[in-house]
Amino acid sequence: MRRALSAALITLALAGCSAPSQSEPQPTTTESKPAVPKVTEEQSADLLKRISPVAPKFTQEEIATNSRYVCAAILQGGSDKALVATVVKHFNRADDPIADTEAAGVVEAIRANGFCQENGAS
């Protein structure tokens, strides 16, 4: 009987050591993400003009959509290297790869276009 009681106490003690304390703050996994502004028709046409020389196989709609992905990375404070990687991810085609220098130009085109502003979300 004593052995069973001792084993039960040890099990309870060990279980108590492995469980997190209720008073300890738990890490959160959700971060607030900035709203990504929509692209107007005028801005979309401008993006097409600026970006199509380095990504000629993309439609105007694809360029506008992919530019919003890059804008999200810009608004989240992505480093230049991360922004180039985002452009490569969204504007690269197997039959028409985009170089890092071209990707950097796409980032600048998106910044210069004017749609990618934190207060411009709609």
At 104, the pLDDT band (50, 70, 90 cuts) reads: very high
Query: Which tens digits make up the pLDDT trace of 37-95?
Result: 999 999 999 999 999 999 999 999 999 999 999 999 999 999 999 999 999 999 999 99
Rounded to an integer, what distance in angstroms lies between the CA atom of residue 71 and that of residue 90?
12
Q: Which residues contact 98 (CB under 8 A, 6 or more apart)?
A: 54, 55, 87, 88, 91, 92, 106
Query: Which tens digits make up the pLDDT trace of 1-40?
Result: 555 545 544 544 444 544 444 444 444 434 555 588 999 9
Mean pLDDT to the nearest integer, 113-117: 93
- Residue 6 sits at the vertex; the CA angle it makes with 2 and 9, to the nearest 5 degrees, is 140
pLDDT of residue 29: 39
Q: Which residues contact 55 (CB under 8 A, 6 or more apart)?
A: 63, 91, 93, 96, 98, 102, 106
pLDDT of residue 18: 47
How far does Cα 55 stand from its chain's mean position? 21
pLDDT at 119 over 60: yes
End-to-end CA distance of the chain: give it in Å, rounded.
70
This model's pTM is above 0.75: no
